[in-house]
């Protein structure tokens, strides 16, 4: 899943693809690079991001989705039902909802749903995230969202542990270390697992080995390492800014089916 943020303030690609022409060109390039899906977002969810109004989010993403949908599958990264509905009308086939709550919109629109875990909101989620047992709690929450999706009639469901969404470095590492258990849970329920670590802050902390944390533009190696790990554990899809690197890693670790066998 290639990331395409049509935003001025995303932590990694903010401002690069705010103009529609540039965003469309970027999406086209990601499909050419081998992306199976391009995830179009019009609102940053980085910690402390300023919320965007519905009209502005629609203005950002709709022309991009319309232009890219004929080229390949598009997901829309939004928490707003109206944006999701309009995106589906424009050709999106998957709703990537980072709200962490049950969401009836995918069933209503007849498309797939990414159900992600999140503690708190972007405004406060990184202040002091706490869990008694992060792996058990996140997996139980996702099992509940999967059950809700199934009873609402959503056919295609992806479970996502929500790396960086209300999690410390240790929480993120624990979730990655135990991601195989999430793969098993998802498989039992006929769902897939999606993981998004790409260039996130915890990688900069871990890769620096106790030194000054690496900034967003210096996290490519750690991104690739984390995605390689995730895919080797059976994760079906990784959400990435660099499609070429992830695809090479995917070819090396093999298909998820082979890893699970």
Contact 175, 168 (CB under 8 A): no
Q: How far is the CB of 94 from ligand HH2 (least distance, A)?
A: 10
Q: Which residues are catalytic?
A: 200, 239
Is 239 a binder of ligand HH2 (CB under 6 A)?
A: yes
Contact 37, 94 (CB under 8 A): yes
Q: Is residue 91 left, alpha or beta, with left meaning phi > 0 and alpha meaning psi from -120 to 50?
A: left
Q: Please report, as residue ranges, which positions from 111 to 140 form the binding site for ligand HH2 (by CB under 6 A).
A: 114, 116
Q: Please report, as residue ranges, which positions from 194 to 233 form the binding site for ligand HH2 (by CB under 6 A).
A: 194, 196
Contact 93, 70 (CB under 8 A): no
Number of residues that bind ligand HH2 (CB under 6 A): 21
CA 121 to chain centre: 16
For ligand HH2, give the closer residue by CB, 11 or 31.
Answer: 11
Applying CB under 6 A, among 2, 6, 10, 171 the residue interacting with ligand HH2 is 10
Applying CB under 6 A, among 2, 41, 204, 256 the residue interacting with ligand HH2 is 41
Residue 120 CA to residue 99 CA, distance in Å, equals 9
Q: How far is the CB of 62 from ligand HH2 (least distance, A)?
A: 17
Q: Judge residue 17's burial from the number of C-beta atoms within 10 Å of its C-beta, 0-12 exposed, 13-18 middle, 19 or more buried.
A: buried
Instruction: Name the site residues for ligand HH2 (rule: CB under 6 A).
Output: 3, 5, 7, 10-12, 41, 44-46, 77, 96, 98, 114, 116, 160, 162-163, 194, 196, 239
């Amino acid at each position: 899943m290639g990331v395409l943020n049509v935003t001025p303030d995303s932590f990694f690609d903010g401002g690069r693809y705010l103009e529609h022409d540039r965003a469309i060109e970027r999406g086209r390039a990601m499909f050419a690079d081998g992306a199976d899906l391009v995830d179009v977002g019009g609102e940053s969810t980085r910690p402390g991001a300023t919320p965007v109004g519905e009209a502005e989010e629609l203005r950002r993403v709709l022309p991009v989705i319309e232009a890219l949908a004929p080229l390949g599958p598009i997901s829309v990264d939004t928490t707003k039902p109206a944006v999701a509905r309009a995106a589906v009308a424009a050709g999106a086939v998957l709703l990537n909802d980072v709200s962490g709550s049950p969401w009836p919109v995918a069933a209503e629109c007849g498309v797939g749903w990414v159900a992600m875990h999140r503690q708190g909101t972007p405004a406060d989620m990184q202040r002091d995230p706490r869990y008694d047992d992060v792996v058990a709690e996140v997996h139980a929450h996702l099992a509940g969202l999967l059950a809700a999706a199934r009873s609402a009639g959503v056919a295609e469901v992806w479970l996502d542990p929500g790396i960086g969404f209300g999690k410390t470095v240790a929480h993120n590492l624990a979730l990655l270390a135990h991601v195989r258990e999430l793969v098993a849970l998802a498989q039992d329920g006929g769902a897939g697992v999606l993981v998004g670590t790409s260039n996130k802050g915890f990688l900069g902390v871990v890769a620096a080995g106790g030194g000054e944390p690496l900034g967003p533009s210096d996290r490519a190696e750690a991104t690739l390492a984390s995605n390689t790990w995730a895919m080797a554990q059976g994760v079906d899809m990784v959400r990435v800014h660099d499609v070429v690197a992830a695809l090479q890693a995917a070819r090396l670790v093999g298909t998820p089916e082979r890893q699970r066998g």
